[in-house]
Amino acid sequence: MTNELKIFLLFAIITFFAIGIFIILAFIKIYDRKQKYIQEKKQAQDRFNHLILQTQIEIQEQTLKIISQEIHDNIGQVLSLTKLTLGSIESADVEVVNKIGTTKILINKAIIDLKDISNSLNTDSIESIGLLKAVENEVELINKTNLKAALTINGIVEKLDPKTELILFRMVQECISNAIKHSKAEQIDILANYEQNYFELTITDNGIGFNTEKISSRGLGLKNIQNRIKFIEARLSINSSYAGTEIKISIPKK
């Protein structure tokens, strides 16, 4: 084999390996760009979904705030005027006087109950008093009905972000609403557990339970809970049987 042929073969081998390396590097670069594009697309979709959830929650809160204001400004005022009107009625009939007195008591109770409901719907009021006080007020409202409710607090209480506390409270309301509407429960228990690395809310009822594999058929309530869970990046656990339902919401501490 001549020197010229040897040089040619060596050059060919080097060129072949160089082209191979170039192709491999080009493939790696294209793959990296593709992965980066997929990642950026996913992040953009996540940001979009987060924005949609935020908008939905803000619309819901604004709607509840308007309803709260209407209850306070209109219905509350009408009942107050009715109470004053009843107080101005004079009668010599003892039975009529007694009925007026009873009606005034009932109207006064309605005014107080409506004020409590108005506060439980008002975003500003909830953020002002905090999660635990808001849940405590909700428990008091339940105990005025034929149901029973209790709030238990474990650990050292720590203030969470106000928006997070508001969203947690709305989820508690959804759980309570579902228990009242669907479960035929007689008792609702709420546990607020403050651990070192996480905060956990557990809502338990002693109702008839439901099939957790058919959660989507439970209506808007659980869908709202699932959406809010995503928004605050919490974990949701639902266990249900004929003996009752347990809904657990866990938030890692940052």
Q: What is the pLDDT of residue 248?
A: 93
Q: What are phi and psi of 185, to 5 degrees?
A: -75, 155
Measured CA to CA, the distance from residue 128 to residue 166 in angstroms comes to: 10
Query: 49 or 129, which is more confident?
Result: 129
Q: What is the pLDDT of residue 228?
A: 82
Whether pLDDT at 58 is above 70: no
Most confident range, picked from 42-46, 107-111, 117-121, 133-137: 133-137
pTM: 0.64
Whether pLDDT at 61 is above 60: yes
The DSSP code sequence of 121-144 is: H-HHHHHHH-HHHHHHHHHHHHHT
Smallest Cα–Cα separation from 169: which of 131, 116, 221, 115? 131
Mean pLDDT value across residues 223-248: 84
Measured CA to CA, the distance from residue 144 to residue 89 in angstroms comes to: 30
- In this structure, are residues 148 and 139 in contact, taking their beta carbons and an 8 Å threshold? no
Q: How far is CA 146 from CA 106, 186, 226, in A?
A: 17, 8, 29
Interval 113-122: pLDDT, tens: 777 777 777 7
Interval 159-186: pLDDT, tens: 888 888 888 988 898 888 888 877 788 8
Mean pLDDT value across residues 68-95: 70
Q: Where are the alpha helices (DSSP H) in 194-246?
A: 220-231
For residue 47, with 0-12 CB atoms within 10 Å meaning exposed, 13-18 middle and 19 or more buried, which class applies? exposed
Helix (H) or strand (E) holding 243: none
Whether pLDDT at 46 is above 70: no
Smallest Cα–Cα separation from 125: which of 69, 191, 59, 203? 69
Of 57-71, 133-147, 204-218, 231-245, give the lowest mean pLDDT range.
Answer: 57-71
Mean pLDDT value across residues 78-106: 74
Whether pLDDT at 92 is above 70: no
Structural domains of the chain, ranges and CATH numbers in brackets: 130-254 (3.30.565.10)
Q: Where are the alpha helices (DSSP H) in 144-249?
A: 162-178, 220-231
CB count in 10 Å sphere of residue 199: 22
Give 110's pLDDT tier (boundaries 50, 70, 90).
Answer: confident
